[in-house]
Amino acid sequence: MTSQRVYGDQPMPVLRLKGFVLVGLLAGYLTLDYGFMLARIPPGSDFGVPLGELFLLVVLATTNLPLLAVRFSSIVFIAPFILWWAMGFSRLLADSLDRGSWAFRDATQLIESLYVLAGFAVAGEMRNIKTIIRALPVIVTIAALYGLFFPFWQEIRNLSPVLYGASGQAIPVFGTYALTGSILIFAGFYLMITRRHGIAATLLPMAGCFLFAFAVLIVQARTSYFQLIGVSVLLLAFRPKALKSFALTVPLTLLLVGIVSAFELRVSGRLTDISLDFLIDHIKAITGAGADRGGTGDSAAVGAAAAAAGVSLRYGWWERIYHHLTEDGVTLLSGLGYGVALTDFHNERGVLVREPHDSFISIVARLGVIGFVAWFWLQVELFRSWLRVYRQCRRLAWWPAEEFLLLVLAFALLVLIDAIGEDAFEKPYEAIPYYALWGFVLRLGYILRSAARPAPVASFTPAYPRQVVGRPVGATVVDLSD
């Protein structure tokens, strides 16, 4: 009888299958965002389990959790994770008994954070890590190409099948484009950092600048300006030479605006037509300026006013939450809990908006100061662990892994910036990729840390070294070669 290789209590074929499924989920969330988020098993059922949550349950149910916890805690300080999950799930259990299923809906951020464990478990075999390292740039590229069809979102929606949300609203599978702005900037960052030679080394950064400009001019989300600042900081820290290419984004954006104006073209974005006036007013709208210009009749002013009006609306939500939180000391420390809407606002479809469009405030509102401290602490630990793994990959001259780590860092930063003005962590299509990718990073760190000192072999190329790292306990030989 032949023995089957296992990692912990999981046969290698099972791990590999989980790896392919997780990559597929990431591709679905990053490309189709809201539409893919509503896919359930069984399909079309109001009580079906979403694909992301179903996969999470399968992974956690088929993994040796005590062994996983030991390995997880060896690479990252686990105390803030324990505090976050212990407080969150105990509160969720109590609130679900009192407030019903909406408590689970409001606990999306808490539930999806378990994907850091799922990603860590799925990446138990080095082949799965190699798969995500190769697949992430492909996924980002496909998602960006899909995002370039944003101007035709209405036609795409009209042809798309629909799924139904928790409030009964019909959501098209294709054409929602809820994550497109972040994805275009994410893809642009990848084109800035990827190692290429010859003509590709010139064309790819230019394509990245075009994606940045497209996000600003067509998607027209105020968050994009902050995300571009974040990207510039990452390039300054890790790819300073790429800043020269990144700096071309501003003149390219102005050139495109000039071409549209000179030829009197009518190019519509999410809010209004492209124009220099709108671009200036839209930047001003970050602070809420111009909200009173909606009645001027000018399309640029109307579009900017619509954006600016949302600022005062958010301020009102946040002020309301502050008053509820500070009613007594216990509420301030432990939060309002799950199952209660954090706003009293209904959108144009009559659906109650449950989150205040700021994930940081949502965390404080749901779990109080203690919950926010635990969450913020675990984020700090994730970034600290990332830096250690990045340095290890740099020492090994493992360039594909280094690029993967930079992509994870960029995506994490984009989501955190998006969370300032949106309920990013309450949306599975952002939260699941965020935590799953962190799980892969932590597992990569565990494997490299557990491995013996690398010994170079005869075949070696600077772009992708071929090295063999020793065998960790219970795992296969880690081979960094292709």
- Residue 381 counted as domain residue: yes
Residues of the chain where predicted confidence (pLDDT) is lower than 50: 1-6, 8-9, 452-482
Residue type, 361: I
For 336-384, the pLDDT digits (tens) are 999 999 988 877 777 788 899 899 999 999 999 999 999 999 999 999 9
Tokens for 236, please give them: 């300054």
Alpha-carbon distance 343 to 320, whole Å?
A: 8
Distance from C-alpha of 266 to C-alpha of 73, rounded to nearest angstrom: 56
Helix axes 223-238, 399-421, angle to 10 degrees: 150
pLDDT of residue 303: 55
Query: Contact, 41 vs 48, CB < 8 A?
Result: yes
Which DSSP symbol is given to 296? S
- Residue 47: phi and psi, rounded to 5, are -110, 15
DSSP state letter for 219: I
- Please give the Cα distance from 443 to 411 (Å, whole number): 18
- The pLDDT value recorded for residue 368 is 96
- Structural domain boundaries enclosing 149: 6-479
pLDDT in tens, 260-295: 888 878 888 888 888 888 888 888 877 765 555 555
Residue 409 lies in a domain: yes
Give the amino acid at 467: Q
Is 233 within 8 Å of 275 (Cβ atoms)?
no
Q: Tell me what pLDDT residue 339 has.
A: 93
Exposed, middle or buried, 289 (CB in 10 Å: 0-12/13-18/19+)?
Answer: middle
% helix / strand / coil in the chain, to the nearest 5?
65, 5, 30
pLDDT in tens, 21-78: 999 999 999 999 999 999 988 876 666 789 999 999 999 999 999 999 999 999 999 9
Rounded to two decimals, the pTM is: 0.89
Q: What is the pLDDT of residue 166?
A: 65
Residue 199, domain member (yes or no): yes
pLDDT of res. 6: 46
Q: In the chain, how many domains are there? A: 1
Residue 244 CA to residue 247 CA, distance in Å, equals: 5
- CA distances to 106, 119, 236, 396, 441 from 444, rounded to whole Å, are 32, 11, 25, 13, 5
Residue 398 is predicted with a pLDDT of 92
Closest CA to 355 of 336, 380, 327: 336
Residue 414 parent element (H or E)? helix 399-421
User: Residue 203 corresponds to which tokens in the numbers above?
Assistant: 């064309």
Residue 1 is assigned to a structural domain of this protein: no
Residue 301: the pLDDT is 55
In this predicted structure, what is the pLDDT of residue 465? 42
Say if 84 falls within a structural domain.
yes
pLDDT reported for residue 364: 96
Please give the pLDDT value at position 351.
77
* 473 within some domain: yes
Query: Strand 10-11 and strand 6-7: pairing?
Result: antiparallel
Radius of gyration of the chain (CA): 23
